[in-house]
Amino acid sequence: MAGAGEREGILAKDGRDGKGATLAVILAGGAGRRMGGADKAAIRLAGRPLLSHVMARLGPQVAAMVLSANGDPGRFAAFGLPVLTDPLPDRPGPLAGILAALGWAQERWPEIADLLVVPVDTPFLPGDLRARLDAARRAAGRLMAIAASAGRPHPTVALLPVDPALADDLAARLARGERRVGDFFARHQAAIADYGRPFPDPFRNLNTPADLAAAEAALDRPDAGDPMPARGQTERPHEKPFAETDSRDKPWRRE
């Protein structure tokens, strides 16, 4: 169980007696095959590891962060993040990382109400991600929401409640061999927070060396800026719930 001082940090960060505090889980459990087997968290963009970029984007938006990763957790020691390994064998994918984070939050931080899920290879995450996902699910009357951009849903960018029943459902699905992230969120009729077509795309994954080179070029463009929707572009939180059946797929707050 967390100590009183750490819990107070969450309460102060959230401002709502901790009931709305959010934990972010950064998914870094993939094998990085298209990057030649490199550890994506450590791949450098503009001289900094991708994990550093993601942490910087999420830090102002959440009470705390954890990392979902397999292998030797010591390689992440410099980042100061709690590292959660998959609770199931054979690397069943992102859903296992989500399940690990849900269980960890329930056990360690009962003040945490929501889990914000992001991949480690999305260095352009928007600064209003948590707020817009929350607004989308509230407007649609749903428990969870995923992001979308450029006409595509991104089910590995999501906000969902830390709820024992939801964790049990997810565990049961994984036990049945159901590993598609998109199917899980479709089953729960997740709302969609649509970011339209900003440049650079805030949710584009860096899967290959070519993707990394394109990201470097995007940072050099004078019009890149912060990857937010253009002025006047509207979010469509009232869209029909996510129903794809094919998933194309902090350290504790520093004061």
Query: How many Å apart are CA 42 and CA 52, to the nearest integer?
Result: 9
Q: Where are the domains of the chain?
A: 13-220
pTM > 0.85: yes or no? no
Q: For the structural domain made of 13-220, what CATH number should be given?
A: 3.90.550.10
Question: In the block, which residue shows the tokens 């991600």?
Answer: 129
Is 102's pLDDT higher than 80?
A: yes
Q: Are 178 and 184 in contact (CB under 8 A)?
A: yes
Query: Lowest mean pLDDT: which of 5-19, 37-51, 129-143?
Result: 5-19
Is 228's pLDDT higher than 50?
A: no
Q: What are 31-85's pLDDT values in tens digits?
A: 555 454 568 888 898 889 999 999 999 999 999 999 999 989 999 999 999 999 9
CB atoms inside a 10 Å sphere around CB 147: 27
